[in-house]
Every structure is written in structure tokens, then in C-alpha cells.
Chain A
Amino acid sequence: MRTSERIAAGVLVALALAVLLVPLVAQLDQQLVDLRAANQGPSLAHPFGTDEVGRDVLLRVVYGLRVSLLIGLVAALVSVTVGTVAGLTAGALGGAADRVIMRVVDGFNSVPHLLFGIFIVALFSPSATAVVASVGLTHWTTAARIVRSEVLTLRARPFVDAAISGGSSRLRVVRRHFLPHLLPHIALASVLMVPHAIWHETALSFLGLGLPPHLASLGNMINDGARSLLAGNWWASLFPGLFILLPTLAISVLVQHWRDRANPRRRSELQL
């Protein structure tokens, strides 16, 4: 493991511990309004400063990260799972099944996904479930396209012919030969989907359709902070933004490491 990968793993562990333990241990109220302390810059008492109603930005970032990460992870899981099943079915079955699934994908892609997401989220009251459903059901098409194109490439490989000739069923070929080759691509698609899902959460919250305004999420915080940005209060939106970037970079570095390990040839080269 290289230094960058150790740092990435350390950052992720630290963030995970923070979002899991701080709310339990600190027993602090992240909703506590203190108008006397409003719009204070970073200091020892408030390392990330305070927002326009005097709430501690650091504490709210920890709570916000918890909500945003959870929404990002679940939405990414939903979209990549739906996309993988659709792409795998289309690629492995081919023929009419492929044509039907890909026309459905085209249909979904023909509507701007933010607009479609707004439509889905409008069916529910503002909540995390609505945001997850909105992102998951509008973004599965990307994963479906990636998985399908990989399956089509794999299908043409002679080792798949050899497996079929050796009596492998369609399911066994999928399980034994397709999925292990697809996993790094699926993992990467999931990771890339997490920040994208957080971004969508931000957009939907801005439009008043995402999470309720009182709930700390990174999206809500950036929007709250943007209002006081022109007054020079950069900290209220910068720190939540950095905490979108940090886990994204850390996960990307670790996924790259995992991709290297998943490829036996590359793994041998790394050991040399």
C-alpha cells in the first residue's frame, strides 16, 4: 500500500468515526441557535466558525456529512444495482431483451435527469427517502450502459466461448466470468455516483424539494452559507464543500488501489 492509499484509508476511517461517534459522545445540540455568536470566523471556540444564526459549523458539518454520506451511499447503491441488473441482462441475453432495455434507457436519458428527479421527489414529501428515490431512479442508466458495453466486450472473448463449450450455463458464465470482471467498473461507478448524489441532494434542497431546511446536510449548509458569502463569510460554505471533496478523493484513491489488486497481472507487477 502506498502512502497516498494509507492517507486515504486514514481519512475515511477518521470521517466514519466522526460521523458515527461525535453525535453519540459529544451530546451537543447542532440546532442550537445563538444569535450573539452569529457569523463568527474560525476560532478556537468554533474551528469552522458559525453560521448566520450562530450554530457551530464544525458540529453541523459532522451531522451534515452523516446525512449526506448516507444519502449518497444509498442512492449510489440503488442506482448502480438497478443499472447493473439492467446492463447485465441486456448484454448477456442480447437480441430483443437488449433492444427493449436500451430503448428504456434512451427514454430515461431523453428527459433531463434533474427535471425527472424533481418529478419523482415531488411525489413524496421532502425527505431523505425521496432524494434517494429521485437520484437512484434517474441515474441507473449510466451504470446500465457501462455494464452492458463491458458485457458485450466480454461475450466476444474466446474464454467465454470455451466456458460455454465446456457446458457452462448462462448464469454460471455471468457469475464466474462476467461479474468478477465487472466488479471494478461497478465499484468505480458507485464511487463516482456518491458525490454526484450529494450534488443532487444539494440541488433538490436548494429548490426546497430535498431535505427539510432544519436538517443539517452538506447541501443545505452550502446553500445556507451561500446567502452570507457576499458578506465575506466564506467559512459557512467552504467547509461543507471541503467535506464533500475529502471522502470523494479518499474513496477514489482506494478504488484505484483495489482495481490494481483485482487485476492479477497488475498485482504481480506491483509485487516486483
Chain B
Amino acid sequence: MLRADGIAVSYGRQRVLRDADLTVAPGVVTGLAGPSGCGKSTLARVLALMLRPDGGRLTVDGTEVRRWRQRAARDLRTKVALIFQQPRLAVDPRLTLREIAEEPFHATGRPPGPAADLADEVGLTPELLVRRPHEVSDGQLQRACVARALALRPRYVICDEMTTMLDASTQAHLVARLEAYRTETGAGILAITHDDELLTRWTGPSEGPIVRMG
């Protein structure tokens, strides 16, 4: 269980989250909806251990998180993967798609799988894997980001408006890929989106709750 209790976050004097509670259960897609600026992305960063909150408590499978970002234990922070809304900002522009997707393997000293498997898994051709971010579309880049997020088999995946900027077929493909991953591993998924229809369709099969913020 990925559980946040009473999370409070401020940027300077601006309070963006006050007493936010959220639970992401394993094997279930939890939906999170809310208007722009209500703090969804901030909560996503807290849940991914990327932002230390000013108050509240976060537990990952019963372990309370006391350190954040690189100070958090590697085993703990790799349990929660974060997929960003804008893939172009979420990748190092110097790296190829293959280097992006395989980065978690190199960072943790694990051997990456064959490139063909990686390409097949997220629908990227081997020819695309040698390209750099500016040479591919947003959809192709987001596929590499999804491959990177799933590389270390995380227990929880936080999708922060992951499909907002993508065409319908890429959106369907990526959601299907995450659903397959959930069914295969029993991972919990937090789907953050403005799209109510997508949220209903995505949370439906696992009968997950939809939480509304703001």
C-alpha cells in the first residue's frame, strides 16, 4: 500500500496542499482528478519521494518515508515510478531513446534486457531506439519514458497526466501496456488525468476508486 496521510506542501508562502490523504492499493488503478492548480502534480511528486512535504506522513508498503530524493534508500525510491506529463522535459536531451529506457538498469548495476525486447514492449522500432529526443515525436518519447519507468518492476506507478499530450492510438497503447504490467505484477497504479472518460475506462477493470481533489 502506498499511503499518504495529511500531506501539506507550501511553495514559499503559497500553500498548495493541506491535509491531503490518498491511498494507492497494489493491483488496483486509483484515479485522481481535479482542476488545474489543485496540487495533483505536487502530490504525485511527494508520492514518488521526489518532494519532501512540510507535513504529513507517507508510507510505502508499511515503511514510513523519512528521507527524500537521493537521501531515500534506493530500494524504497525505486518501488515508486513516476511518469511525467511532458516527456520532452522528462528526458536528458543528449541521450538516445535506448539510453533513456535503459538508464535505471545502469544506475542500479543490473544488466538490461535485449534491445529488441525493450522495443517490442513499448512499441518502438530498433531504428527509433538510436534516435535522440529531438528526432522523435512526443508519443514515441513517452513510450521510452514508460519503458524507463517499468524497467525496475516498481510496485507503484504514478502516471501524472501521462497521456494528455498524446494522440488517441498512443494513449490507448500506453494505457494497455500499463494495464498489462498491472495484471502481470500486481502493481498499483495512480492515474492522474483531466479526462473523466479515460479515468472511468482505466479504473473500471480493477474497480479502483476515483479520488477528486479541490
Whether A and B are associated in the same complex: the answer reads yes
Interface locus among B100-108, B122-130, B181-189: B100-108
In whole angstroms, what is the CA distance A180 to B107 when docked?
Answer: 17
Q: Is A124 an interface residue (CB 8 A)?
A: no
In the complex, are the beta carbons of B48 and A165 less than 8 A apart?
A: yes
**A165 & B70 in contact (Cβ 8 Å cutoff):** no
Q: Across the interface, which residues of A come within 8 angstroms of B70, CB to CB?
A: 164, 168-170, 173
Within 8 A of A (CB), among B151-171: 151-152
Interface centre among A166, A167, A170, A180 (most CB of B within 10 A): A166
Q: Is the CB of B82 within 8 A of A165?
A: yes
Q: Which residues of B contact A268 (CB under 8 A)?
A: 134-135
Q: What chain A residues lie within 8 Å of B35 (beta carbons)?
A: none
What is the CA–CA distance of A173 and B106 in the complex, to the nearest angstrom? 12
Interface residues of B in 112-138 (CB under 8 A from A): 132, 134-135
With both beta carbons as reference points, the residue of chain A lying nearest to B49 in the complex is identified as: A165
Of residues 25 through 74 on chain B, the ones whose CB sits less than 8 Å from some CB of chain A are 45, 48-50, 69-70, 74
Kindly report which residue of chain A lies nearest to residue B87, judged by CB atoms: A158
Listed residue (B104, B107, B145, B152) with the most chain A CB atoms within 10 angstroms of its CB: B107
Contact A177 B135 (CB under 8 A): no
> In the complex, what residues of A have CB within 8 A of residue B6's CB?
none
Contact partners of B152 in chain A: CB under 8 A: 166-167
Known contacts: A158-B84, A159-B90, A161-B82. The answer to whether A166 contacts B107 by CB under 8 A is yes
How far is it, in angstroms, between the C-alpha of A172 and the C-alpha of B81 when the chains are bound? 18
A162 at the interface (CB under 8 A from B): yes
Q: Does B196 sit at the interface, judged by CB under 8 A?
A: no
Contact between B89 and A164 (Cβ–Cβ < 8 Å)? no
Most buried by B among A157, A165, A167, A180: A165
Say whether A165 contacts B81, CB under 8 Å.
Answer: yes
Q: Which residues of A contact B74 (CB under 8 A)?
A: 167, 169
Chain B contacts for A181, CB-based, 8 A? 94
CA–CA, A263 to B93, complex, Å? Answer: 8
> Does residue B199 face the partner (Cβ distance < 8 Å to A)?
no
Residue of A nearest to B45 (CB): A161
Contact present for A165 and B80 (CB under 8 Å): yes
Contacting A162 at CB < 8 Å: which of B69, B80, B84, B132? B84
Overall SS of chain A's interface: helix
Produce 1/0 per residue, A145-186, CB < 8 A to B: 000000000000111011111111110110011001100000
Q: Indicate which residue in A157, A162, A168, A263 contacts B82 across the interface (CB closer than 8 Å).
A: A162
- Is B107 touching A162 in the complex (CB atoms < 8 A)? no
Is there contact, CB below 8 Å, between A159 and B78? no
- B195 lies within 8 A of chain A by Cβ: no
User: Chain A 177-201 against B: per-residue CB contact (8 Å), 1 yes, 0 no?
Assistant: 1001100000000000000000000
Residues of A within 8 A of B94 (CB): 180-181, 264
A165 engages B77 (CB within 8 Å): yes
Which of the residues B80, B89, B107, B132 comes within 8 Å of A163, measured between beta carbons? Answer: B107
State how many angstroms separate the Cβ of B48 from the closest Cβ of chain A: 6
Interface residues of A in 203-243 (CB under 8 A from B): none
Q: Which chain A residues border B82 with CB–CB below 8 Å? A: 161-162, 165
Which residue on chain A has the smallest CB distance to residue B99? A176
Chain B residues within 8 Å of A159, by CB:
89-92
Pair A167/B78 contact, Cβ less than 8 Å: yes
Could you name 14 residue pairs across A and B whose Cβ atoms are closer than 8 Å? A158-B84, A158-B86, A159-B91, A161-B50, A162-B103, A164-B70, A164-B77, A165-B49, A165-B78, A165-B82, A166-B81, A167-B104, A170-B70, A268-B135
Q: Spell out A's residues near B (CB within 8 Å).
A: 157-159, 161-170, 172-173, 176-177, 180-181, 263-265, 268
Taking A167-B107, A169-B70, A265-B134 as known contacts, 12 extra A-B pairs with beta carbons closer than 8 A to each other, sorted by chain A number, are: A157-B89, A158-B84, A161-B82, A161-B90, A162-B91, A163-B107, A165-B48, A165-B77, A167-B78, A168-B70, A176-B92, A264-B132
